[in-house]
Amino acid sequence: MCSLKNNNSNGYQRTDLYNEQATEQLSSHYKEILQIVGEDPSREGLNKTPERVAKAMQFLLQGYEIDPVEILRSAMFKEDYRQMVIVKDIEIYSMCEHHMLPFIGKAHVAYIPNGTITGLSKIARVVDVFARRLQVQERLTTQIKDCIQDTLKPLGVAVVIEAQHLCMQMRGVQKQHSITTTSDFVGAFEKVATREEFIKLISTKLS
């Protein structure tokens, strides 16, 4: 949705790219929402809000337009390494599909290669693609696992997500300090010893 382009005179500048038709349609609906809740969308502080929110929603939900399988396939390499590969503390910013409020946290992802590895950044990008959709944390966890397993064909995949849900903090039960943890394992990680090693490694903090 946004990119940095080189400008010879001014260095790098941000360029935002949005679907004009989607922006117009969403803006119209958000303007109506403001009116329904009793606000005046024409006042100074709100006159550009519908367009801003329309663009924000396109950014927050851009994962629908990206194929996570192609991300992994873009950096697959033959390598005879059959030990655990872990990318942990991957920031997650997603939207709860029930109330369309954010949930924020971290994902820890591991796989054991079976002759093929992928670029480490691609694991984080796969997490982002699935997170940038309307989600529930349980499905997000499984989608990440399945994508890596089906594409790389490793000996096993493990995913743990820890997140705070604003739908529980700002409304409803209003428990500000609650954290939801989900996990999914396949292949070698279904063995207790392998799973325990993974949990120990993601719990270890760098000194």
The DSSP element (H or E) to which 28 belongs, if any, is helix 20-36
Place of tokens 């499984």: 142
Q: How far apart (Å, rounded) are the C-alpha atoms in residues 114 and 207?
A: 31
**108, 143, 147, 165: the active-site residue:** 165
- Give the list of residues 6+ apart from residue 154 with CB closer than 8 angstroms, or none: 111, 112, 113, 114, 116, 148, 187
3-class DSSP state for residue 15? strand
**25, 35, 65, 98: the active-site residue:** 98
Q: Give me the helix-helix angle, 137-152 and 120-131, nearest 10°.
A: 140
**24, 97, 138, 196: the active-site residue:** 97
For the question of residue 29 being annotated catalytic, the response is: no
For the question of residue 97 being annotated catalytic, the response is: yes
**51, 99, 164, 169: the active-site residue:** 99
**39, 51, 167, 169: the active-site residue:** 167
**Binding residue ranges:** 96, 99, 167
For the question of residue 2 being annotated catalytic, the response is: no
Q: Which two tokens stand for residue 47?
A: 């006159």
Q: How far apart (Å, rounded) are the C-alpha atoms in residues 1 and 194?
A: 39
**96, 108, 147, 149: the active-site residue:** 96
**58, 137, 143, 149: the active-site residue:** 137
Buried b (16+ CB within 10 A) or exposed e, 115-134: ebbbeeebbbbbbbbbbbbe
For the question of residue 147 being annotated catalytic, the response is: no
**Binding residue ranges for Zn(2+):** 96, 99, 167
Active site members: 96-99, 137, 165, 167
